[in-house]
Amino acid sequence: MAMKRREFLRDTAVAAGAFTLGFVIPGKVRAGAGEGAVSSAPFTPNAFIRITPDNQVTIILAKSEMGQSVYTSLPLIVAEELDADWQAIRVEQSKVDPAYNWPAFQMMITGGSTSVRTSWEALRQAGATARAMLLAAAAAAWGAPAARLVTADATITDPETGRSATFGEMAAAAAQQAVPADVTLKSPDRFRLVGKDQKRLDSELKVTGRATFGLDVAAPGLHYAVVARSPVFGGVLQSFDASRAEAMPGVVKVKQVPTGVAVIADSTWRAIKARDALDLTWDEQGNGGVDTDQMLQHYRELAGQPGFAVQEQGDFEAVAAQADQVIDATYEVPFLAHACMEPLNCTVHDRGASGGEGAEVRVGTQMQTADRAMAAGILGYEPEAVDLHTQFLGGGFGRRAAAWSDYVAEAAHVAKGEPWPVKTTWTREDDTRGGQYRPMTLHRSRLALDAGGRPLAWHNRVVGQSIDGFKMLGMEPENFDNAMIEGLKTQPYTVPLVNLEAHMTTSAVTTLWWRSVGHTHTAFMKETLFDEAAHAAGVDPMDYRLGLLEAHPRFVALLKKVREMSGWGRELPAGTGLGVAIEESFGSIVAEVAQVRVKGQKISVEKVWCAADVGFAVNPLGLREQMESGIIFGLSAALYGEITLKKGRVEQGNFNNYRVVRIDDAPAIEVEIIDSGAAMGGAGEPGTPPIFPAVGNAIFAASGKRLRSLPFRLS
Amino acid sequence: MPLNLTVNGQQHTVDVEPDTPLLWVLRDTLGLTGTKFGCGIAQCGACTVHVEGKTVRSCRTPVSAVGNRAVTTIEGLSADGLTHVQKAWIEEDVVQCGYCQSGQVMAAAALLAANPKPSDADIDKAMRRNICRCGVYQRIRKAVHRAAELAAADSTAGGA
Ligand code: FES
Ligand code: FES
């Protein structure tokens, strides 16, 4: 079916003998991989393969590698259908081109845990079509029926004659073959690579220090910049005196940019030192009083007032009046910074400023198309005149899909009109205080239970800011933002009546998607609330959930799996408890059990068991790793993460006061995968949401203390 | 002020302020970008290098304090091929984004040089100075044990 809507192109722009396939949906058609090949046509190609006569198979990666392993899992899919030699695959990062757009937004984006599931079909077809053309070429050359030929490890063999040729030897002839109208994909039982544990292809680069992250970009004449930004959100520069800074060693230039004052020097350190010597006066635009304690107080007041009705299934108050008991609980989560290991940075060379053409941008980004357009607009070029090179990302977690391309835009302003490339680096403090946070959010939930403890009606009122990134994508929320209620409309528990209300607030603090987005708080609220309900009903929390999931066999299977893995119900030492949680997010369902020990005020997470159902795991090893990573990422926020503001200033700055989990407080994690065969879901984010409530519920089991705000504190 | 520095066995003369952190001399002056900037305040370990075989956070080490002691960075960790630590890291599929990993590898190499058979507790104690935002900690633990095994097997095979 899919093939009928699409067609393959042969790329004439590559060197003779190289065989390149661009996989496209028709529209105005063009070759995709060639130098300077750019089109404005609205089509949606998915992948490229390049096979050279030396039998090098290169797979072009159109997604950003930020730890989630697309550098391995996407080429794996192509290699499977192509029957390439997996050990000899080369991966090349794509350029910015409509050919690589994510259809949903007509731009290149790596996010939403979508890379594998949205590329799967197209990458398989790309591989299978290339293989079919190689076979056709060999069949013609040997006078043998193509159906008789077999492929493995980038080699074609005729079992009857014993003749064989490498893909490279057949590359030139394959490029002359007609593109088949239809290809047969492998049946899953014939997969040799997919569905089996595959180690990463980028390990050696990364253990030898040879991987080039954005911050490692080198270029002749490279200059280094840091920017002094407003100490409060939304502040504007009133005046500045750079005379002391300009006199410091190595300082090349001090200039005003929209976000503040940039110091450009011959090394990062000299730029940082000179920035300290700037004299700056800011107009705080009335934001010098922003205070998260006061904001939270305001949220609590709003929680007592009716909000916008997002979903209304009936008269909650009437049901509650008849209920046996009503749980009324408020859950609160703070602003969170992403704190990617690699601080934000971007290198820009305005080549046009010194007689060249256009510009070059080298950056770790999750959003190439938008970033390039932004840089081009600032520099005064067409987007196509800006070469954007995606580097390895030292973490993304959503921060590098930045609202209004903040760090790329700023770097473009810094480098605009300069004859040399400039690398603008954010220090850790700049990065922590730079905003684009997970929004501070409050949920007030009421759950009415019958005499048996089963839910009759649920009323949830959420208070919080919307996510700026949605506005950038043109999804201007009016009364609520989907992230505020993420997952709640489709929550799986049997509840006859669910009403959802929202108060969407505003503040000067900027907000963004943070690994698993709204699920970071909706799952915390829901899974803590239903744990409270289980205890109110006097039922074991695992059994209570199972009893409300009759219509959801995938959830049931996962809960039973973690029940078994964790030895749920076993005797535990005093002060130790188990907590369970389950959440569907990004098309996947993940259940987790945490074992927590509470001693005085100290919370130790000793072990986590995780069962994940993503439909089908393309690379089970990579999936287990993403679960481990998502759990530790969430745990950092559950135990420590909190951005607070006083007098408009962010109080945290670095890892000393924005703490994260270290190896000595990292639990052992066991992950099991259930391949249910359901539609494929994501991997990068779904491991994160359940860990917040699983730990909170375990704290309750261990200590009898119900903690309803994050980070968890027993004081 | 020109300063002499020995990095990965090579002599360099660098013209920087004496209080410049070794990190920025390595990265911006010598172009050795394998050593990473993560925090700048000795909190994360991304900048870990060896000075005379001992781990040092280069972001908080003024270049003038190094003197003529030998500095080893990730680029100079092995003269030929991969070290046991690097091999074990690949075997155990430790890395994710990889940004912290130069520092992790340098820290693990120093740990194993001092303690060829570390316990989990030894590993946690030595490696707690290195943050990984991707959270690959349990794989690091496993890989340190694996590197210890590889080293032991090698020294046995070598008749040591
Ligand atoms: S950069 Fe030196 S310890 Fe973080
Ligand atoms: S691998 Fe990403 S920070 Fe460690």
Q: Which two tokens stand for residue A239?
A: 């005046």
Residues in A touching B98 (Cβ below 8 Å): 67, 202, 205-207, 211, 213, 392, 394
- Which candidate, B151, B152, B154, B128, places its Cα nearest to that of B140? B128
> Over chain A, what is the mean pLDDT?
92
C-alpha closest to that of A456 among A314, A331, A310, A582: A314
CB contact under 8 A, A662 and B29: no
Bridge partners of residue A441, in order along the sequence: A333, A464
Six token digits for residue A381: 């070029």
Q: Which residues in chain B are contacts of A634 at CB distance < 8 A?
A: none
Give the number of whichever ligand sits closest to the CA of residue B60: 1
At A31, is the pLDDT very low, low, confident or very high (cuts 50, 70, 90)?
Answer: very low
- Rounded CA-CA distance A173/A135 in Å is 10
Residue in chain B nearest A364 by alpha carbon: B97
Residue B70 has pLDDT above 90, yes or no: yes
Instruction: Please state the length of chain A.
Output: 715
Q: CA B5, CA B70: separation in Å to the nearest integer?
A: 8
Quick one: which H or E segment has residue A638? helix A620-639
**Residue A33: pLDDT band with limits 50, 70, 90:** very low
Task: Give the strand order in the sheet containing A576-585.
Answer: A576-585, A588-599, A602-613, A668-673
User: ipTM for the complex?
Assistant: 0.97
The more confident residue out of B155 and A388 is A388
A388: CB partners within 8 A, 6+ apart: A95, A96, A360, A361, A362, A363, A365, A368, A371, A372, A375
Q: Is the pLDDT of residue A45 over 50?
A: no
A280: confidence class by pLDDT, cuts 50, 70, 90: very high
On whether any CB of chain A is under 8 Å from the CB of B88, the answer is no
Buried-exposed string B68-100: b where 16+ CB fall within 10 A, e elsewhere: eeebbbbbbbeeeebbbbbbbbbebbbbbbbbb
* pLDDT confidence bin for A77, thresholds 50/70/90: very high
Chain-chain contact of A660 with B82 (C-beta, under 8 angstroms): no
A36-43: long-range contacts at Cβ-Cβ below 8 A with a sequence spacing of 24 or more? A37/A13, A37/A97, A38/A97, A38/A98, A38/A384, A39/A98, A39/A99, A40/A98, A41/A98, A42/A98, A42/A106, A43/A98, A43/A99
pTM for the whole structure: 0.94
Give me the residues paired with residue A150 across strands. A157
Q: Across the strands, what pairs with A348? A: A361, A422
Facing residue for B138 by CB, picked from A211, A268, A628: A628
Look at residue A350 and tell me whether its pLDDT is greater than 50: yes
User: What is the pLDDT confidence band of residue A15, given thresholds at 50, 70 and 90?
Assistant: very low
Mean pLDDT across chain B: 96
CB contact under 8 A, B35 and A212: no
Q: In angstroms, what is the span from residue A279 Cα to ligand 1's centroid?
A: 28
Q: Domains of chain A by range and CATH?
A: 2-208 (3.30.365.10), 215-285+344-425 (3.30.365.10), 292-337+436-703 (3.30.365.10)
User: Given pLDDT bands bounded at 50, 70 and 90, which one contains residue A19?
Assistant: low
Q: Quote the pLDDT of residue B158.
A: 62
Q: Which residues line ligand 1 (CB under 6 A)?
A: B 37-40, 42-47, 57, 59
Angle, vertex CA A490, rays to CA A486 and CA A496, nearest 5: 125
Angle at which helix A406-415 crosses helix A368-379, to 10 degrees, equals 30
Q: How far is CA A695 from the centre of its chain?
A: 23
Task: Please state the rounded mean pLDDT for residues A83-96.
Answer: 94
Per-residue pLDDT band for A40 (boundaries 50, 70, 90) equals very low
* Confidence band for A417, pLDDT divided at 50, 70 and 90: very high
Per residue in A319-338, pLDDT (tens digit) is 999 999 999 999 999 999 99
Residue B71 and residue B8 in contact, taking contact as beta carbons nearer than 8 Å: yes
Lowest mean pLDDT, pick from A8-17, A43-52, A390-399, B34-43:
A8-17
pLDDT tens-digit readout, A628-660: 999 999 999 999 999 999 999 999 999 999 999
Residues lining ligand 2, judged by CB closer than 6 Å?
A 67, 341, 395; B 95-101, 132-134, 136
Distance CA B64, CA B125 (A): 29
pLDDT band at B155 (very low <50, low <70, confident <90, very high): confident
Report which DSSP code applies to A25. -
- Best of B22, B39, B111 to substitute, by most chain A Cβ atoms within 10 angstroms, is B39
Query: Using CA atoms, how far apart are residues B142 and A277, in angstroms rounded to an integer?
Result: 47
Residue A1 has pLDDT above 70, yes or no: no
- Give the pLDDT of residue A14: 30
Residue at token pair 């205890």: A535
Q: What pLDDT is stored for residue A304 in this prediction?
A: 98
User: For A590-619, what is each residue's pLDDT tens digit?
Assistant: 999 999 999 999 999 999 999 999 999 999
| Parallel/antiparallel/unpaired status of strands A90-93 and A57-61 | parallel
Backbone angles phi, psi at A521, to 5 degrees: -110, -30
CB contacts, 8 Å: A266 with chain B: 28
* Structure confidence by residue, pLDDT tens digits, A217-247: 999 999 999 999 999 999 999 999 999 999 9
CA–CA dist A375, A371 (Å, integer): 6
β-bridge mates for residue A283, sequence order = A236
Contact A400, A367 (CB under 8 A): yes
Helices (H), A83-212: 115-142, 167-175, 203-207
Q: Which atom of ligand 1 is nearest to the CA of B58?
A: 2
Q: Which of A32-41, A94-103, A425-434 has the highest mean pLDDT?
A: A425-434
